[in-house]
Amino acid sequence: MITINLLPKTLRRRRRADPYTLAAAALPLVALLGAGWLQMGVSSEQARLEARESALRAEQRALSRFIAEQSALQNRRSALGELQAIAQEVQGNQILFSEQLFAMLETRPPAREDPATRMAFQTLEMRALDAATSEQRRAEGVYEDLTAVVEMDVAGVAGSAGVVADYVRELQRAPDFGVMLRDLTREESGFYTFNLTIGAALTGDADNPDADYPAMPAESSEGDTP
């Protein structure tokens, strides 16, 4: 059956709104507002994270440049340190060689008018000894108890065997030297050729500066020269 309300609109009974209907109508709006708020929160967090990421990248670039500069400085410092060590070693060797060479030359017998008393060096070779070689020389007694740091191979000519013997004796008595007479030959001309190996310690650093080395008997120079 169909009921038709024929009353005028002014006399009709008003119906109350159904709360469920209102709730159903408001639900999409609430959902839309919630989604918008959530989207705003997500966008804000994303923007914050992007800003943080940009700041971290900028900091990383700055740190990378700093690390690269520090690495370059460290490499340069290491290279300079190596060069300085090499320079000091070379300088030390030069000073050492100069001191030992000068001291060795000072032990030569003074030149006199008599040709039999004269001595001349023809060749001179110098080499530094490392710690192992120096200790080996010492253990073998090559230079008695001397701790040699430099060796000098000297070859030359002398007017007599006596002047060579005097020179060897002076080296034996010197606290900073040890000597090996490798060869002494009389030539047809009457002069003598000789070959010595001289070990030298640091100046003033000999192990036994007061040692009494046995003297080599001097050979008479009479008749040694033509």
Q: Given this model, what pLDDT does residue 186 score? A: 92
Mean pLDDT of the 191-205 span: 83
**Is it the case that residue 102 has pLDDT exceeding 60?**
yes
What's the predicted TM-score (pTM) here?
0.47
Q: Given this model, what pLDDT does residue 220 score? A: 34
Same domain, 101 and 128: no
**Is it the case that residue 207 has pLDDT exceeding 90?**
no
**CA–CA distance, 12 with 7 (Å, rounded to integer):** 6
**Is it the case that residue 67 has pLDDT exceeding 60?**
yes
For residue range 138-167, list pLDDT tens digits in order: 888 888 888 888 899 999 999 899 899 989
Q: Given this model, what pLDDT does residue 208 score? A: 41
Q: Given this model, what pLDDT does residue 202 score? A: 74
Residue 102 lies in a domain: yes
Residue 171 lies in a domain: yes
With CA atoms as reference, report the closest residue to 204 among 169, 175, 172.
175
Report strand pairing: 192-200 vs 177-186: antiparallel
User: Any idea what DSSP says for residue 178?
Assistant: E
Task: Show which of 85, 106, 127 is a domain's final residue.
Answer: 106
What is the average pLDDT value for the chain, to the nearest integer? 75
Residue 43 lies in a domain: yes
**CA–CA distance, 217 with 211 (Å, rounded to integer):** 18
**By residue range, what is the domain housing residue 64?**
21-106
**CA–CA distance, 164 with 173 (Å, rounded to integer):** 14
118 contacts 163 by C-beta, under 8 angstroms: yes
